[in-house]
């Protein structure tokens, strides 16, 4: 049976991007035999350099990139694709770059599909958000971003399917940060200072390079914004109420050195929050969309220990979805919500979904 060749143009070769390449290399024959697709990486790029690959990607791709990558402009990448008659293009954004997101509309207009681990495009102003969708419709292109919320967990797909099946979603709440899940799951059960657990999370690579980005609550708020917009709520980031876990005297205005040297200031307020709650409760940092009250909040709560959120372990995410059809019993999605392996696998799943769409639209080759 003939196969369809898919050309992946990968922007970003950090943890997620490099893991994605390795996963494709490891499963290349499997996808060829079972999915009838040949996944190719004709161009691999970081923020400054591009490697134009003439052969199928190999396990030693990093060495080739280091030897042969050259400076580029986005227009040169588009011209290379056109001049070499490359089709079935899926651009993968495995960066965290706000600058790169500005290229999305140009890439869609060049007839490329997009898969994004990068959350930024879906959290900018509504005008930009809508402009992307208008161009996708006009050019009949796909834009998938399941990993924007919950890594490889099917959160966005489930919410989208429920909403467009006509069911009325009334509330979405849960732990959306693997980092803060790990911290509060340990803090609730151990007699260990909050700052020590935070440092452990940093050393394990669970936090952002500057863990204030996690403690600020902004990352959770971005995920709430993405989900709210999936169910057609026309809101902006500023509409989300964020209870930061940082302190008035230890926050994003401090230098990184000041923050690193004074983490123990976090210990007392969190210890007070811990000991003043009911004995059967635990602390959880959640995001919540209440559509009936029109509230979008990121906050620290005291949760019954025997509830789904209260029983969380490790660095798992857990999202509860309440709908009119399901009543007071929520749909619960739980699992690893962070990590380069699961995120890369989620990106790969989106690539394969678009590949199935392309197979219907495009001729195959033997």
Q: What distance in Å separates the CA atoms of residue 12 and residue 81, rounded to the nearest whole number?
A: 18
Q: What distance in Å separates the CA atoms of residue 150 and residue 342, rounded to the nearest whole number?
A: 9
Of the residues 141, 223, 340, 359, only one is catalytic, namely 223
Q: Which residues of 227-256 are buried (b: 16+ CB within 10 A; e: fewer)?
A: bbbbbebeeeeeebebebbbeeebeeebee
Q: Per this entry, what is the length of the chain?
A: 366
Q: What distance in Å separates the CA atoms of residue 297 and residue 285, rounded to the nearest whole number?
A: 11
Cβ neighbours of residue 268 under 8 Å, at least 6 residues apart?
none
Q: Note if 294 is an active site residue.
A: no
Q: What distance in Å separates the CA atoms of residue 124 and residue 237, rounded to the nearest whole number?
A: 8
8 Å CB contact between 42 and 7: yes
8 Å CB contact between 224 and 240: yes
DSSP string computed for 256-288 = HHHHHHTGGGGHHHHHHHHHTS-TTEEEEEEEE
CA atoms within 13 A on the CB side of 225: 23
Residues annotated as catalytic (active site), given as ranges: 223
């Amino acid at each position: 049976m003939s196969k369809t060749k898919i050309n992946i143009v990968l922007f970003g070769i950090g943890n997620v991007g490099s893991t994605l390449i390795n996963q494709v290399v490891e499963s290349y024959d499997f996808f060829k035999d079972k999915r009838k697709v040949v996944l190719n990486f004709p161009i691999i790029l970081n923020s400054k350099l591009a490697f134009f690959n003439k052969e199928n990607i190999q396990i030693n791709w990093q060495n080739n990139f280091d030897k042969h990558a050259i400076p580029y402009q986005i227009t040169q990448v588009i011209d290379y694709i056109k001049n070499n008659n490359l089709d079935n293009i899926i651009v993968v954004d495995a960066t965290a770059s706000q600058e790169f997101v500005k290229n999305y509309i140009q890439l869609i207009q060049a007839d490329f599909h997009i898969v994004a681990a990068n959350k930024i495009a879906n959290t900018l102003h509504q005008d930009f958000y809508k402009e992307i969708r208008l161009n996708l419709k006009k050019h009949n292109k796909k834009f998938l971003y399941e990993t924007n919320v919950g890594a490889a967990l099917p959160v966005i797909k489930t919410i989208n399917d429920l909403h467009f099946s006509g069911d009325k979603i009334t509330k979405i709440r849960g732990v959306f940060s693997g980092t803060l899940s790990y911290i509060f799951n340990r803090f609730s059960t151990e007699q260990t200072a909050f700052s020590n657990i935070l440092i452990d999370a940093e050393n394990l690579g669970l936090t952002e390079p500057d863990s204030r980005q996690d403690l600020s609550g902004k990352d959770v708020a971005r995920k709430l914004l993405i989900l709210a917009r999936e169910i057609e709520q026309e809101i902006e980031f500023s509409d989300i109420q964020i209870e930061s876990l940082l302190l008035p005297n230890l926050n994003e205005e401090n230098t990184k050195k000041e923050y690193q040297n004074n983490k123990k200031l976090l210990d007392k307020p969190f210890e007070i929050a811990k000991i003043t709650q009911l004995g059967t409760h635990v602390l959880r940092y959640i995001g919540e969309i209440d559509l009936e009250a029109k509230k979008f909040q990121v906050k620290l709560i005291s949760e019954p220990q025997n509830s789904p959120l209260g029983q969380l372990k490790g660095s798992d995410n857990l999202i509860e979805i309440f709908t009119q059809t399901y009543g007071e019993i929520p749909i619960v999605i739980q699992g690893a919500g962070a990590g380069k392996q699961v995120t890369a696998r989620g990106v790969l799943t989106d690539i394969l979904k678009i590949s199935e769409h392309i197979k219907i639209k495009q001729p195959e080759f033997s």
